[in-house]
Structure 1
Amino acid sequence: MHSTSLSITPLTGTPFGAKVTLPDYANNDPANLNEEDFQKLFEGVHENLVVVIPNQAELLPKSQYLLTKRFDPTLPEPKGDTGAGYGHGKEFRHDKSVLKKDGCSVKSQPQVQILGQGKFAADEPGNENGEEISLTHPSHTSFHHSPLTEDQIKKEGRTRFYRWHIDSALYDLSPPVVTTLLGIKVPPTTQTQTIVYEDDTGDKLELTQGATCFTSGQRAFEILSDEDKEFALNTTVEYAPHPYIFISPAGATSDGLTMVSEGKEFKFEELPEWEESKVKKLPMVWTNPVTKKHHLQLHGCCLHRLHTKNADGSVTTLELKESRERAHQLMRPAIAPKNVLAHSWTEGDLVIFYNRGVWHSVTGEFKAIKTDGADERRLMHQCNIASSVDPTTIK
């Protein structure tokens, strides 16, 4: 079937999301879209929040970078071969950061990260670096306060949301507009795992091994009470300096929404040098520029304080523990199973998500090597680019 223009088809059986079919002239490279079709894709991503372009396993890192960059007209033009930088900056590889094991950069296109699980030879597809690489899939067992037991993982087939988050450094750099995530090598989708919500709801979510989960910030805002909407619209989220280092001694809640408060975080004087002017203070609600809808957008693990402007003009500030508790109360309804898009990966899927309109989480437990004839290795390319401007709320 020939296609002369880009088409977008909503996914079925999911709370949101869409599938994209590229036009023939693009030669299966979305970086080749003309301005009219790219504008259709731009609007489709903002409206559907997550879109999937199949059969992209051979997409070059340069094309992925150029496509990602195109979503943010505030970004500077490329200088030489580098251009705009990766959305987390360089500090995410700091040896005390919770992100330190999350892959490596593509040497020829450092804005693109290589993520996954297992060892890959220099000549394997997706390994662009010309040398063997070893990748570690993020597991809740190294990040949560009280992880699942070995029996719960292996015998009961359970997993957890690793960390619900927005892709952003949350210090100095502004949140990226979109993230592109390309599945080059993925395990078969025949194996499933289950998330059991460890609260009094009895909620469960069955998903394929390693599914990436998304929830809509728009939906998260819409289901708030009127009182909570007013609170969110008038609240600024202050993030900790170097937040991924700040939280690294602590452990996350079992749903991956925030951290358990035990005073284990690094003291500010123990962090790498930081400047007050670079500390991020972002609105709790971000307005989608295409739909004009409000999205509840906050990173519950990295926040430090909440500042709420009251009707009389005064400001109420919640400190760390209370801020986490309030954030959890606002966020938890949005991750109920009926609200979660759990993307089951097929090799070649290119997922583009509106990073300023959704939260997402890694899931899944993987074996590092082939066992029982099953290859559970996985390799993905991820790209997001720090914006030049912060998101805003239009009331």
Structure 2
Amino acid sequence: MVFALSSTATEAEQPRVLTVKEGYTPPKASSSNGRVVPIQHAAESKVNFGAEVYGIDLNHFTSADFELISDALHRHKLLVFKEQPEMLTPQQQYRLTACFDPDETTGGFAHGADPLLFQGNGVTIYGLPNRPAINAQPQVHILGRGELPPNHFDFPPGFKVKGIDHVDFHLPPHIPQEERDQGASRFYQWHWDGSLYDIPPPRVGCLLAVRTPKGPDVTVHWGDGTGRTKKIAPGATAMVAGSRALELLDPELRNTVMHSRIEYAPHAFQWMSTAHSAQLGHILETEGLEKPLDKLSPWTKDKICIYPMVWTNPVTGEKSLQVHGQGAFKLYLKDTPDGKEKIVSDLKEVRAFMHRIMSPVLSPENIYAHPHKEQDVILWYNRALWHSITEFPESYGPRVMHQCNIAASDHPSG
């Protein structure tokens, strides 16, 4: 069964009180047995991030393990933990993620309090149909599509997670269903994780593969008239590096983004919920379909997020173009630190600029599509990578992932 969001439960009426983070210090150890092996990408690939980690049991990681993990993550931006002896528990997934931000004290989910999703037969579930929370650790949510395994935490038998569908979000024409059944796919939404309003975006994301779809590779179609495609594993998470996106801009445009900022819409995901995405999943189409600002949940100007376009890795000093094209509401453009600022508020112009700076990196040779393996865990540096979900045929079976995102203690400052 698929449980729909209760018609009487709204975010304001039924907030989920998140557990405050208890101080957690991993057990001390003098050294780590972890081994970091960079991912070997295909010869034609321009991807230069990602590493596999062996020898660390994330259910029992030590302080020395975490020191190795933290340094490796900032340098490689994506870590894939292999050979985990058991499924990572939600509690340990939360603890691992929380260790990256010791100054964060609330332990809150990066998108705020969850609404009531389902209540019945002694079971209460919070979240959204495509993102239910695990009661044992409510900052850990289930993503994917399909029926959960039997006796999966507090979820009732037959509980299904609602999957993404580009037909519900992308501008037509959509991929015909018969082609989708044969493995035609789309990038759903290129983004970094964050609410884009009030709450600071996470420093890291953590994803556990519980169930993965089984079937041949799918073919992702760009849908932008170029005819570009890319073969990837079903259910893969596509990723690109913000540093590569910055590198590909011409010098004049690169100079502009280095000194410019983006203002994101209040309650950006509500605002865009009635609009259409471009078929590549990086910007919205300008059709006047965004939800009016006075129809959104209550908001105040002081909680609107205005972020620099370029963020800096605190360990390596590397610069990354970190922008969310679909949530962009207004631009503040400058060519020099002390130059005159040009404010762009026309949404068509905003999106034309976002397309100009985002589209160069969204080419097959720059994209790494991570093929999830059951029981593997991935960590990514959310302030240096963009990612997108990809679609796969329903006949391939369920995709069940546990994701942990925690609101950071700070907003990006460049």
* TM-score range relative to shorter protein: 0.7 to 0.9
Q: Are 1:62 and 2:91 matched, yes or no? A: yes
SS in 1 for 2:323: coil
For 1:171, the equivalent position in structure 2 comes to: 197
- The number of aligned residues is 365
Q: Are 1:12 and 2:40 matched, yes or no? A: yes
Structure 1, unpaired ranges of 5+? 77-82
Distance in 1, Cα, partners of 2:254 & 2:273? 31
1:274 to 299, 302, 308: 299
**Would the aligned equivalents of 2:224 and 2:280 in 1 still touch at CA under 8 Å?**
no
2:147 to 116, 119, 125: 119
- Deviation, 1:295, is 0.3
- Deviation, 1:176, is 0.2
Moved more, 201-210 or 245-254: 201-210
**Would the aligned equivalents of 2:196 and 2:305 in 1 still touch at CA under 8 Å?**
yes
- Deviation, 1:33, is 2.8
Distance in 1, Cα, partners of 2:155 & 2:83? 24
2:206 to 170, 180, 190: 180
SS in 1 for 2:67: helix
**Would the aligned equivalents of 1:213 and 1:363 in 2 still touch at CA under 8 Å?**
yes
Spell out, residue by residue over 1:85-119, the C-alpha distance to the aligned partner (whole angstroms, 9 max, x if none).
Answer: 1111126889xxxx943220000100000112112
Taking a change above 3 Å as real, the CA distance of residues 173 and 185 of structure 1, as seen in their structure-2 partners, is same
For 1:317, the equivalent position in structure 2 comes to: 343
- Deviation, 1:22, is 2.5
Distance in 2, Cα, partners of 1:65 & 1:325? 38
Distance in 1, Cα, partners of 2:284 & 2:271? 11
Distance in 1, Cα, partners of 2:132 & 2:179? 30
1:338 to 365, 368, 386: 365
* TM-score, normalisation: structure 1: 0.88
For 2:379, the equivalent position in structure 1 comes to: 352
For 2:9, the equivalent position in structure 1 comes to: none
1:129-144 to structure 2, matched below 5 A, reads 129-132=154-157, 133-144=159-170
**Would the aligned equivalents of 1:162 and 1:361 in 2 still touch at CA under 8 Å?**
yes
For 1:244, the equivalent position in structure 2 comes to: 269
Spell out, residue by residue over 1:36-64, the C-alpha distance to the aligned partner (whole angstroms, 9 max, x if none).
Answer: 33122111111111110024451110000
* TM-score, normalisation: structure 2: 0.84
Distance in 1, Cα, partners of 2:33 & 2:320? 30
Q: Are 1:391 and 2:412 matched, yes or no? A: yes
Give identity over the alignment, percent.
34
Q: Are 1:233 and 2:254 matched, yes or no? A: no
Q: Are 1:86 and 2:112 matched, yes or no? A: no
2:354 to 327, 341, 356: 327
Matched AA of 2:170: H
